[in-house]
Chain A
Amino acid sequence: MKNWVKVVLVIGVIGLLAAAGLVYYVYNKPHRDVSKEQGLQLSAQNLYDAFRTNEAQANKLYLDKAIELSGEVADLTTNQDGKTVVNFKTSDPLFVINCTFRDNPGDLKPGQIITFKGICTGYIPDANVVINEGVLVKK
């Protein structure tokens, strides 16, 4: 076999392996597991105050971060895909911290104080702060 043919073949094989590796990586990289992260400790009221008073600053501090949130359960619902959603009270009766649980937190009741960890995905004015991927820490 001529030398240049060998070189082309080797380059081709390396290219294929790199492409396969990239595809493998794209399809297998795991999602974040918030239960293994250290969360920023906050109360539901702290988080609401932060967004209400300075949204841009709160986005910088809390967006995409793991939050360990404590608060009083306002109500419990189930989302349209069957996941448990807990709304936490703030001083504004129309505003809550809306938390979707990744793992079922078990029996909870309105009025109960609980602590859980989740990822803060953002703020919707006049409605709620959104946290998802929640796991129960303490009840």
Chain B
Amino acid sequence: MKSVIVLVLSMAFFATAADAQKIFSTRNGKISFSAPKDEDVKAVNNEVVSRIADNGQITFSMVIKSFRFKFAEMQEHFNDQYLESSKFPRADFKGNIVNLSDVNFSKDGVYKVTVKGDLTMHGVTKNLTVPGTITISGGKPSVEAQFTALMKDFNVSASSVTDRVTVDIACQYQ
């Protein structure tokens, strides 16, 4: 009888262990963007909340007002006219690693990934496929990726400044 209890308990334990999914997170990830034709148009957000799980789910949430420009006047225009950050305070991305089988979260290394998901910004949701890199170092992941966002895709009328920006993601997780 005793051995049956031990067996049941140990089965329950292993079932839980197998289900437990590892989630890494940060409240201070970094996302920046720049206009390819005007080097003054660039901004950094160091307060990106991001989570990455070993089941392939990845999310980024950021407040638009946390993007900091070198020039205060540009920051004001960006918030008031282009991204309308009082009306649309946040940008969110929710996606999945397409080639999850190529990534081993418990083994240090550099893994090329493709992430597919939805980016919601300025009231518009758009499906994106973005190539990037996951680096596992000391058991902790960091993510790097770059993609181009077209202003018209997100209903942003900034044509006097730029029609596109290059977005850079660099997040270190705990």
Among A8-16, A36-44, A106-114, A125-133, which stretch is in contact with chain B? A125-133
How large, as a class, is the contact surface on chain B?
20 to 34
A29 touching B46, Cβ below 8 Å: no
CB of B44 within 8 A of chain A? yes
Q: How many pairs, one residue from A and one from B, have CB atoms within 8 Å of each other in the complex?
A: 77
Among B12-20, B27-35, B116-124, which stretch is in contact with chain A? B27-35
Give Cα A125–Cα B27 distance, bound, in whole angstroms.
12
For B47, list chain A residues within 8 Å (CB).
79, 98, 100, 121, 130, 132
CB of B172 within 8 A of chain A? yes
Which of A27, A85, A122 gathers most chain B CB within 10 Å? A122
B66 touching A127, Cβ below 8 Å: no
Give Cα A101–Cα B46 distance, bound, in whole angstroms.
12
For A100, list chain B residues within 8 Å (CB).
28, 46-47
Given A79-B28, A121-B65, residue A59 in contact with residue B89 (CB < 8 A): yes
Which one of A31, A63, A98 lies within 8 Å of B28 (CB-CB)? A98
Given A31-B75, A81-B46, A127-B49, 19 further pairs, Cβ under 8 A: A32-B72, A59-B89, A63-B86, A63-B89, A79-B28, A79-B30, A80-B28, A80-B30, A81-B30, A85-B27, A85-B28, A87-B27, A100-B46, A100-B47, A121-B63, A122-B90, A124-B61, A130-B63, A130-B66
Binding site for B on A (CB under 8 A): 25-27, 29-32, 59, 63-64, 77, 79-81, 83, 85, 87, 96, 98, 100, 119, 121-125, 127-128, 130, 132
Binding site for A on B (CB under 8 A): 27-30, 44, 46-47, 49, 61-66, 68, 71-75, 86, 89-90, 170, 172
